[in-house]
Amino acid sequence: MCGIVGAIAQRQVSGILLEGLKRLEYRGYDSAGMAVRDQADGQIHCTRRSGKVAELEAALGQQPLQGSLGIAHTRWATHGKPEERNAHPHLADGRVAVVHNGIIENFEPLKNGLIAKGVEFASDTDTEVIAHLVHDKLNQGVEFPEAVKQTIAQLDGAYALAIIDQQQPDLIMAARMGSPLVIGIGIGENFIASDPLAMLQVTDQFIYLDEGDLAEVRLESVSVRNRAGEPVEHEVLRYEHGQDATDKGEYRHYMMKEIMEQPAVVEAVLEGRLGKEAVLEQAFGAEAKAIFDRVQSVQIIACGTSYHAGMIAKYWIEELVGIPCQIEVASEYRYRKTVVLPNSLFLTISQSGETADTLAALREAKEAGFLACLTICNVPGSSLVRESDLSLMTNAGPEIGVASTKAFTSQLVALLLTALVLGRRHGISAEQESELVSALKRLPQQLEQVLSLDSAIETLSQRFADKNHSLFLGRGAMYPVAMEGALKLKEISYIHAEAYPAGELKHGPLALVDKEMPVIVVAPNNSLLEKLKANMQEVQARGGELYVFADQAAGLDNGEGIHTLELPHVHSLVGPILYTIPLQLLSYHVAVLKGTDVDQPRNLAKSVTVE
C-alpha cells in the first residue's frame, strides 16, 4: 500500500522520481522520501518528510538532490507512526538505502538479531531491518547482488523492494514477493515502480516481475532471476492506456473526472465484446468456451467496492443463469475451510488486480479443486490477471481517486457479460440475450442523462453536510447498490453510513430514524417497488427525511419529508449500474462541502497490497 519508484539514468533523476511519487500518491500519502546517489561526492543523500508528496517537493525545492541513481517512496503506515523518522528510504550507515512496499512479518527476530550485533535502529519500521541486513553482509565482503539475495531469503511476508548501494553507481536491486513491481525500460535508462502509471512520463515499455523475482536494473541492462535463482526473460509489454489518463483535466478532483467518464468507460468495456444481438465469447480468451461449457456454480471473491459488484453479479447469475452463486469477502474466505462445489468457477473481481486478500484467496483456490479461475480486472499485467486461467479486462483506464467509481460500473458491465455467456448454456433464450444486449448498448446514453442531474444532486447534498449518520436502503440487487452508496459516503465524507435491505428496517435500524438521520433510497420501478414504498412510509411515519432516487414511472413525488430525483427508465437488470451514479455524485458533493480530501481520504490507500 506504499508506492515505490527508482531510476537509473544519464540525467538527473530527482524530478522523475518526484513525478513518479505524485502519480503513486494514491497508494499512500502519510509521508514520502527520496534517496539519490550524488556522483560528485559518491554519497547517498536522503530527504524525507511526513505528510504528502507536496511536503517532500517543497523540501527538495529548498535543497535539491543531485544525481542519476535514486529511489523514492510514498508511505501508507503499517509499522510505526507516520512521522519523518519512519518515512522511507531507510538507510544503513549511509551506504545502503531501501524502499519497501509490504510487510515483513518476521522483522522482530531479525531486528533483535541485529541489535545483539550492535546495530542501532532509527525507526519503528519493519523495513529498516532490510537495510541493515544487506549492510551487514556487505561488511562481511559479500557482493551487493548476493547480499540482497541472501537478505530476501531471510524475509517472511510481502515485499516489493528497491535497494541501492553507495558503492554501486550503476545498479538498483529490485525484488518482488507479494507486492507489485514493474521495471520501466527506457533508452539508456531504466526505472522501477509499483505501478506503470508512475513512469508513463518516461516510458511505456514495462517488464512485470513475477513473485519471487530478483532483478538487477542497470543503465543499459536489466537481468532477472526467478525464485529458484534461474535467469528468466520476461516479455517487455507496451502499456496501453492513454497517457492523459492521469491528468485531472478540467475537474477539481479525479473522483469527479472518473464519475463523468462512466458513459465512455461503459462503451470501452463493451467495445469488441458485443455482436449485433449477442455477447462475443472470444472476449474471455481462447480457452473460455471449454471452461464455460462445464460451469455448474460460481464462487465470487473480492473486497470493498469490488465485493459489492460481486454481490450484484450473484443476483444476475442466479436469475439469468440459474446456477448457484456464492460470494464472500476475500479476507474471510481465505482463512476458513470452504466446500468447493463440482465444476465451480472461481471468479475474482478487482480494480487493481493486486489486492493482497483477493490474490491470496485466488492462490488458495487454485489448490482447492475449482474448475478454473476467472478474474474481472482493470489492470492488464496485474497479478490477478497473470495468475488466473481467464480474464476479462474492464478497460476503465487508470482510476486515481481512492474512492472507486468508474471501476465499479465497468466491473458491473463485465459481470453482466459474464452472466450472459454462462446463461446461454443454461436456458437464456436468444431473445432475452438480445434484449439485454440492446439495454447495454443504450446504457452510455442513459448514464449521460443521469450525470446531467449533477447540479440537482449538488443542491441536495447541502442537506447532508451537517449530518453525522445516514442510512441507505435498497431491495434485491439494489441492496448492494445501497451498500456501495454507503461505502462511498463514509470513505470520502467521513459521515457514518449504513446500508440495509429495506425489508430489514423494522427489525432494528428503524429505531435510529429521526430528522437527523437522512435515509437514502434507491427505487427503480421493479417488482419490489410497492414493498419499498411501504418501507419508506415506515420512515416517514417516524419523522425521518427520505432522499429517493426513483424511476420516472415510480409515482413518487416531492413532499414533506421526501425529496425525490427521477432517473430514466432502464431494463431492470441494468438498473444497478444506473442507480449507482447518483449515489457517487451525492457522496462527492457532500465531501466537497465538508472540505475533506476527496481523492485521498484519510487512512486509506488505493491499492491494498497488504492484508
Considering beta carbons, is residue 195 or 545 the nearer one to ligand AGP?
195
User: What is the closest distance, in whole angstroms, from the C-beta atom of residue 579 to ligand AGP in the complex?
Assistant: 17
What's the first-to-final CA gap in the chain, in angstroms? 10
Of the candidates 449, 494, 501, the residue with the CA atom closest to the CA atom of residue 587: 494
Task: Specify the amino acid at residue 587.
Answer: S
Task: Specify the amino acid at residue 117.
Answer: K
User: What is the closest distance, in whole angstroms, from the C-beta atom of residue 495 to ligand AGP in the complex?
Assistant: 15
Q: Which residue number is nearest to ligand AGP in terms of Cβ?
A: 304
Active site residue 506: no
Show the binding pattern over residues 439-478: x = contacts ligand AGP (CB under 6 A), - = does not: ----------------------------------------
Q: Looking only at residues 17 through 46 of this chain, which bind ligand AGP when binding is defined by CB under 6 A?
A: none
Q: Cβ atoms within 10 A of the Cβ of 242, count? A: 11
Distance CA 590, CA 579 (A): 18
User: What is the closest distance, in whole angstroms, from the C-beta atom of residue 410 to ligand AGP in the complex?
Assistant: 11
Question: Chain centroid to CA 367: how far?
Answer: 25
Please answer whether residues 53 and 29 qualify as being in contact, where contact means their C-beta atoms are separated by less than 8 angstroms: yes
Q: Looking only at residues 390 through 409 of this chain, which bind ligand AGP when binding is defined by CB under 6 A?
A: 402-404
Considering beta carbons, is residue 305 or 525 the nearer one to ligand AGP?
305
Please answer whether residues 33 and 49 qualify as being in contact, where contact means their C-beta atoms are separated by less than 8 angstroms: yes
Distance CA 350, CA 205 (A): 23
Q: Looking only at residues 304 through 343 of this chain, which bind ligand AGP when binding is defined by CB under 6 A?
A: 304-306
Q: Looking only at residues 475 through 504 of this chain, which bind ligand AGP when binding is defined by CB under 6 A?
A: 491
Distance CA 205, CA 273 (A): 27
Which residue in the set 161, 222, 295, 608 belongs to the binding site for ligand AGP (CB under 6 A)? 608
Considering beta carbons, is residue 265 or 402 the nearer one to ligand AGP?
402
DSSP secondary structure letters along 523-542: E-SSTTHHHHHHHHHHHHHT
Q: Which of 22, 257, 467, 606 is catalytic?
A: 606
Active site residue 441: no
User: What is the closest distance, in whole angstroms, from the C-beta atom of residue 203 to ligand AGP in the complex?
Assistant: 24
Show the binding pattern over residues 342-361: x = contacts ligand AGP (CB under 6 A), - = does not: --------xxx--x--x---
Q: Which of 2, 325, 373, 377 is catalytic?
A: 2
Question: How far, in Å, are 217, 228, 265 from residue 225 at the CA level?
Answer: 12, 8, 38
Side-by-side strand order, sheet with 496-501: 496-501, 469-474, 519-523, 546-551, 562-567
User: What is the closest distance, in whole angstroms, from the C-beta atom of residue 360 to ligand AGP in the complex?
Assistant: 12
Cβ burial, residue 458 (10 Å; 0-12/13-18/19+):
middle
> Using CB under 6 A, which of the segments 79-87, 108-116, 126-134, 302-310 binds ligand AGP?
302-310
Distance CA 558, CA 144 (A): 71
Considering beta carbons, is residue 155 or 302 the nearer one to ligand AGP?
302
Between helices 128-139 and 144-154, what is the axis angle to 10°? 130
User: What is the closest distance, in whole angstroms, from the C-beta atom of residue 71 to ligand AGP in the complex?
Assistant: 25
Considering beta carbons, is residue 572 or 580 the nearer one to ligand AGP?
580
How many residues of this chain bind ligand AGP (CB under 6 A)?
A: 15
User: What is the closest distance, in whole angstroms, from the C-beta atom of residue 267 to ligand AGP in the complex?
Assistant: 21
Catalogue the active-site residues: 2, 606
The binding site for ligand AGP (CB under 6 A) comprises: 303-306, 350-352, 355, 358, 402-404, 491, 607-608
